[in-house]
């Protein structure tokens, strides 16, 4: 596609529910990143995929958060037993590779609200 796309754009859920957030990276980009942006804060790194594998998941806050990228393209961020503190904008980015000079391109984000 022309850019990184994310669905849904907005998600409202109740505390304790399970949610899935989807990211479609730019075609041909092997590296994919998830970030979380809380209100008034900058984006914070969650997880990075190189191809199908999670190369670095050190930013995931706890074991309720999980992400997959089974075919090395689309990625899904999964949150179990959502809590009000999970409310944030979840941003996805992709890049051609993971080198020092590869620029990350960001999607529009999914705004998650946990009631």
Partner 1 sequence: KQEVTQIPAALSVPEGENLVLNCSFTDSAIYNLQWFRQDPGKGLTSLLLIQSSQREQTSGRLNASLDKSSGRSTLYIAASQPGDSATYLCAVKIIDGSNYKLTFGKGTLLTVNP
Binding site for partner 1 (CB under 8 A): 4, 6, 33, 40-45, 48, 55-56, 58, 91, 93, 98-109, 111
CA distance 89 to 110: 5
79: closest CA among 39, 52, 112? 112
Comparison of 6 and 73: residue with beta carbon closer to partner 1: 6
| Shortest separation between residue 113's beta carbon and partner 1, angstroms | 12
* Distance in Å, CB of 26 to partner 1, minimum: 13
Torsion of CA 69, 70, 72, 78, to 10 degrees: -10
By beta-carbon proximity to partner 1, the closer residue of 16 and 26 is 26
Q: Are 34 and 90 in contact (CB under 8 A)?
A: yes
Nearest approach in angstroms of CB 70 to partner 1 is 21
């Amino acid at each position: 596609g022309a850019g990184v796309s994310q669905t849904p754009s907005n998600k409202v859920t109740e505390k304790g529910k399970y949610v899935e957030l989807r990211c479609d990276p730019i075609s041909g980009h092997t590296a994919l990143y998830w970030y979380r942006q809380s209100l008034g804060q900058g984006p914070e790194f969650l997880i990075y995929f190189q191809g199908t594998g999670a190369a670095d998941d050190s930013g995931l806050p706890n074991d309720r958060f999980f992400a997959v990228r089974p075919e090395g393209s689309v990625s899904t961020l999964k949150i179990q037993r959502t809590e009000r503190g999970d409310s944030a904008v979840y941003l996805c980015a992709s890049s051609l590779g993971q080198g020092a000079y590869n620029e990350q391109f960001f999607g529009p984000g999914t705004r998650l609200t946990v009631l």
